[in-house]
């Protein structure tokens, strides 16, 4: 186990090269050995075949001069001399394996080794293919083979045998060259394979090393760092691109979070400054002027209400930004809107709230509390930006594949320049800014978050002086990834 861990801790480059070279080595050795043994048996077989072929006509001719008593003694001297040559020695044996003659012409020549009884026996038994290699009795390896002698080709009776032997000098020389070549080849291949493998894995892994360095820099806070490998399209390139994408998103998220915190702090400071100022005036002794005191206290009350609202909305934003924990169910829009429009009446005092009913059996898979919050924010905005006596329309419909819910008003409308920004947190139009009520600019940001957590999109059509229409469109088959605990609707 420990040893395995240590192997896994080695650089990938080293491990890949090692495995690759091992595999290469095993393959080369197996192939080399197969090739070597094939060549070896081919060379020995062809030597034996050549000897037999050379001897055959001589043997055939000699056997024709054989007497009727089938005794090879008479022809043995001649036969052995005719077959014996510079590299081949022939020994003639009788039917009992007894030594009759050899091809020596001079007395000084060394006598041939005594025939091996086992192989002689097999040859005299009629086996035409007896051969063996003697490695011990001579300086060089010697090939021995036997030719059984028969009185006639169609006669099974063996009347003697010829033992031929020839040194394997040439074959062995060739084989030792072959061995050298194979061993050198394997070594060269392994060295080249190691160097090449090291180089290839090194260059393939270089971008990974670069990515590690970039990751470290990003982790240490340098969010602008990128691996940047646009020309690599392989897996490493894809990983680099995915990493860069992720870094991009992280950077954007961090930036928007910073902006959000700064804006939130700014929003909190305004009412706090107002409160502090009022308290200072009170402490300095405006107690004697009950009317001024009353005004100050009322202003302070308004500021605390505003602070409370802001805190509530901030809490809501943070809840929505955390993994969605909502309680989804199929809600009947007819029932939902009936209930909502009766509750929303107090938002739109002096305005005409009109419900435009859509299909009565439309069902929306949503979290009723958060969804009500979104409609609530839209209706609140509509009321804020519509003069008394104006009309606010709300309703639902089913449009190809999605369910649409809208809130429309015939109020002041939104200047075209503001439209791209109204869904940003803390964004308020100029007119709203000057308004005493002083919203935080979080209402529409929340609507956007809620809509997106339902898999939908919110958009606005607006014309200055004519009114605005906010539409939430949710795809019909939408199902959330996971269900969580129910959320509480903050008091407006």
Ligand X SMILES: Nc1ncnc2c1ncn2[C@@H]1O[C@H](COP(=O)(O)OP(=O)(O)OP(=O)(O)O)[C@@H](O)[C@H]1O
Contact residues for Mg ion (CB under 5 A)? 381, 439, 443
Cβ distance to Mg ion smaller for residue 13 or 428: 428
Which does residue 440 touch among ligand X, Mg ion, none (CB within 5 to 8 A, set by kind)? ligand X
Give the whole-angstrom CA distance, residue 465 versus residue 32: 92
Cβ atoms of 97 and 124 closer than 8 Å: yes
Crossing angle for the helix pair 169-219 and 235-283, nearest 10 degrees? 10
Beta carbon of residue 445, minimum distance to ligand X (angstroms, whole number): 6
Cβ atoms of 440 and 307 closer than 8 Å: no
Beta carbon of residue 350, minimum distance to Mg ion (angstroms, whole number): 18
Cβ distance to ligand X smaller for residue 103 or 443: 443
Cβ atoms of 394 and 407 closer than 8 Å: yes
| Residues written for the chain | 492
Residue 164 pairs with which residues in a beta bridge? Answer: 90, 145
Q: What count of Cα atoms within 13 Å lies in the side-chain half-sphere of residue 237?
A: 6
Which does residue 161 touch among ligand X, Mg ion, none (CB within 5 to 8 A, set by kind)? none
Which does residue 166 touch among ligand X, Mg ion, none (CB within 5 to 8 A, set by kind)? none
Beta carbon of residue 414, minimum distance to ligand X (angstroms, whole number): 4
Cβ distance to ligand X smaller for residue 160 or 443: 443
Beta carbon of residue 433, minimum distance to Mg ion (angstroms, whole number): 12
Give the whole-angstrom CA distance, residue 300 versus residue 41: 109
**What value, to the nearest 5°, has the Cα angle with vertex 323 and ends 318 and 328?**
105
Give the CA distances from residue 376 to residues 263, 436, 468, in Å, rounded to whole numbers and listed in that order. 24, 20, 16
Cβ distance to ligand X smaller for residue 151 or 386: 386
Beta carbon of residue 435, minimum distance to ligand X (angstroms, whole number): 8
Nearest to 478 by CA among 457, 448, 447, 449: 457
Which does residue 427 touch among ligand X, Mg ion, none (CB within 5 to 8 A, set by kind)? ligand X
**What value, to the nearest 5°, has the Cα angle with vertex 183 and ends 178 and 187?**
150
Cβ distance to ligand X smaller for residue 233 or 466: 466
Which does residue 411 touch among Mg ion, ligand X, none (CB within 5 to 8 A, set by kind)? ligand X
Cβ distance to ligand X smaller for residue 328 or 376: 376
Beta carbon of residue 380, minimum distance to ligand X (angstroms, whole number): 6
Give the whole-angstrom CA distance, residue 390 versus residue 386: 6
Cβ distance to ligand X smaller for residue 24 or 440: 440
Give the whole-angstrom CA distance, residue 253 versus residue 247: 10
Beta carbon of residue 376, minimum distance to Mg ion (angstroms, whole number): 10
Helix (H) or strand (E) holding 391: strand 391-399
Q: Which residues contact 227 (CB under 8 A, 6 or more apart)?
A: 207, 210, 211, 214, 240, 243, 244
Which does residue 458 touch among ligand X, Mg ion, none (CB within 5 to 8 A, set by kind)? none
Beta carbon of residue 455, minimum distance to ligand X (angstroms, whole number): 22
Cβ distance to ligand X smaller for residue 94 or 412: 412
* Footprint of ligand X (CB under 6 A): 313, 377, 381-382, 385, 409, 411-414, 422, 427-429, 432, 439-445, 468
Torsion of CA 264, 270, 273, 277, to 10 degrees: -160
Cβ distance to ligand X smaller for residue 225 or 412: 412
Beta carbon of residue 333, minimum distance to ligand X (angstroms, whole number): 21
Cβ distance to ligand X smaller for residue 457 or 476: 457
Cβ atoms of 159 and 93 closer than 8 Å: no
Give the CA distances from residue 183 to residues 32, 41, 178, in Å, rounded to whole numbers and listed in that order. 8, 19, 9
Q: Two tokens at 271?
A: 């009412």
Beta carbon of residue 242, minimum distance to ligand X (angstroms, whole number): 34
Beta carbon of residue 374, minimum distance to ligand X (angstroms, whole number): 11
Cβ distance to Mg ion smaller for residue 84 or 381: 381
Both ends of the chain: CA-CA distance in Å? 62
Residue 133 pairs with which residues in a beta bridge? Answer: 143
Q: Two tokens at 337?
A: 């809107």
């Amino acid at each position: 186990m420990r040893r395995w861990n240590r192997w896994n801790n080695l650089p990938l480059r080293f491990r890949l090269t090692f495995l690759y070279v091992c595999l290469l080595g095993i393959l080369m050795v197996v192939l080399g050995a197969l090739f070597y043994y094939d060549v070896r048996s081919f060379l020995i077989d062809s030597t034996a075949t050549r000897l037999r072929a050379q001897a055959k006509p001589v043997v055939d001719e000699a056997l024709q001069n054989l007497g009727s008593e089938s005794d090879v003694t008479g022809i043995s001297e001649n036969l052995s001399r005719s077959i014996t040559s510079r590299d081949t020695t022939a020994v003639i044996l009788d039917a009992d394996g007894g030594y009759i003659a050899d091809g020596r012409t001079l007395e000084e020549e060394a006598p041939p080794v005594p025939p091996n009884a086992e192989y002689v026996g097999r040859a005299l038994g009629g086996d035409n293919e007896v051969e063996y290699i003697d490695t011990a009795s001579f300086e060089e390896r010697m090939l021995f083979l036997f030719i059984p002698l028969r009185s006639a080709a169609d006669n099974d009776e063996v009347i003697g045998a010829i033992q031929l032997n020839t040194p394997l000098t040439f074959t062995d020389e060739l084989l030792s060259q072959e061995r050298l070549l194979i061993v050198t080849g394997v070594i060269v291949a392994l060295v080249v394979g190691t160097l090449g493998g090291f180089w290839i894995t090194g260059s393939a892994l270089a971008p990974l090393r670069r990515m590690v360095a970039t990751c470290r820099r990003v982790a240490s806070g340098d969010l602008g760092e990128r691996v940047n490998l646009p020309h690599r399209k392989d897996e490493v390139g894809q990983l680099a691109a995915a990493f860069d994408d992720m870094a991009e998103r992280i950077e954007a998220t961090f930036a928007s979070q910073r902006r959000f915190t700064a804006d939130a702090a700014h929003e909190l400071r305004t009412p706090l400054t107002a409160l502090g100022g009022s308290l200072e005036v009170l402490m300095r002794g405006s107690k004697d002027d009950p009317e001024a005191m009353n005004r100050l206290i009322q202003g302070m009350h308004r500021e605390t209400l505003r602070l409370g609202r802001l805190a509530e909305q901030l809490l809501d934003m943070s809840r929505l930004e955390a993994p969605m924990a909502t309680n989804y169910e199929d809600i009947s829009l007819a029932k939902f809107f009936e209930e909502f429009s009766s509750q929303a009446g107090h938002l739109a005092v002096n305005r005409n709230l009109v419900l435009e009913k859509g299909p009565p059996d439309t069902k929306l898979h949503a979290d009723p509390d958060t969804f009500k919050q979104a409609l609530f924010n839209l209706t609140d905005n509509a009321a804020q930006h519509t003069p008394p006596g104006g009309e606010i329309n709300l309703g639902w419909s089913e449009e190809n594949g999605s369910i649409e819910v809208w809130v429309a008003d015939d109020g002041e409308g939104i200047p075209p320049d503001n439209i791209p920004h109204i869904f940003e947190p803390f964004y308020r139009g100029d007119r709203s800014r000057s308004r005493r009520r002083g919203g935080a600019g979080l209402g529409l940001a929340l609507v956007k978050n809620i809509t997106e957590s339902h898999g939908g999109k919110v958009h606005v059509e607006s014309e200055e002086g004519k009114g605005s229409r906010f539409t939430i469109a949710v795809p019909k088959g939408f199902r959330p990834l996971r269900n969580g605990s129910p959320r509480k609707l903050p008091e407006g």
